[in-house]
Amino acid sequence: MTDAIPRSVRSFPSGERRPRAWWLVYIPLTILFIFAVAPLLLTWFTAFKTDQQQLVSPYGLPLPPTLDNLGEAWTVGRFSIYFKNSLIISIADVIGMVVISSLAGYAFARLRFPGQKLLLYGLLVGLTIPVAAIIIPLYLTMRDFHLLNTYSSVIIADIALAAPIFVFIMRAFFKDLPGELDDAARVDGANELQIFWQIMLPLARPGLMTVALLEFLWSWNDLLLPLVFLVSDDLRTLPVGMLFFQGRFTIDYGLMSAGVLILSLPVTLLFLIFQRDFVKGLASGALKG
């Protein structure tokens, strides 16, 4: 009997794990991490360096650090105004998307109504259309409704274009919840709105956090729609402001790096704070189905 057992199995006692070639995983991941993070860290370091420090030690730490570049970008570069505009649009986008995707996702997952499959197919078609292909019709529509050069034009377009994917995310999440919850609530006399608000929505918190974070990221980094719809400099968002800022201060790497820091730091901090909810939302089935 013993001779029939392969040596690879006999070599390890019960309960003892086989040694794994961990380096096959960690070394490639470490290399990818370095390539992904190193340019961002280098840019952040440059934002805190003087011109002399950039010449003497372009890849070193900013010692001592200076806030002159950030202050000049915030005031002279008008990044304080761009930051406010991006924040207003992104928060409005998140609120609107969470409301729409949760309601629509719940309806598609838990209710039955005429034309349900047709609407689902319509959402699938919406997923295949690139923004650049419909930017001219969008522009003409906003012009006809006198919404150009307003926050509303970007907010409406952002929500409309991103809604299909987030509705599918919330639909998959609601569909994964036990059906007995609906039945028990209806037996107790709860109507559909009460079931949604008091039972389903609290259970869908990880999915809602996933939608909120992804929508904020989408809106915060969006360049095309604000560039087309917002003409006034007082309404520009951070990505658009950064585009024009680079044209004015192409040689000043310290100022450009400060602009990149202002643009990227809020999203990075937001993800670090809510990463547990984000990962939990993905792992709980928000992207299944």
pTM attached to this predicted model: 0.84
CA 166 remoteness from chain centre: 11
pLDDT in tens, 224-242: 999 999 999 999 999 999 8
How high is the pLDDT of residue 149?
95
pLDDT by residue for the chain (289 residues), tens digit each? 445 545 444 444 544 454 566 777 788 888 888 888 888 888 889 999 988 888 888 888 888 889 999 999 999 889 999 999 999 999 999 999 999 999 999 999 998 889 889 998 988 888 888 898 999 999 999 999 999 999 999 999 999 999 999 999 999 889 888 888 888 888 888 888 888 999 999 998 888 999 999 999 999 999 999 999 999 999 999 999 988 887 676 667 888 889 889 999 888 888 888 877 777 766 665 445 4
Q: Where exactly are the structural domains of the chain?
A: 23-66, 84-286
- Are 86 and 70 in contact by the 8 Å Cβ rule? The answer is no
Distance CA 227, CA 154 (A): 10
| Rg of the chain, C-alpha, whole Å | 25
The residue behind tokens 């869908």 is: 204
Q: Which CATH superfamily is domain 84-286 in?
A: MetI-like (1.10.3720.10)
Amino acid residing at 29:
L
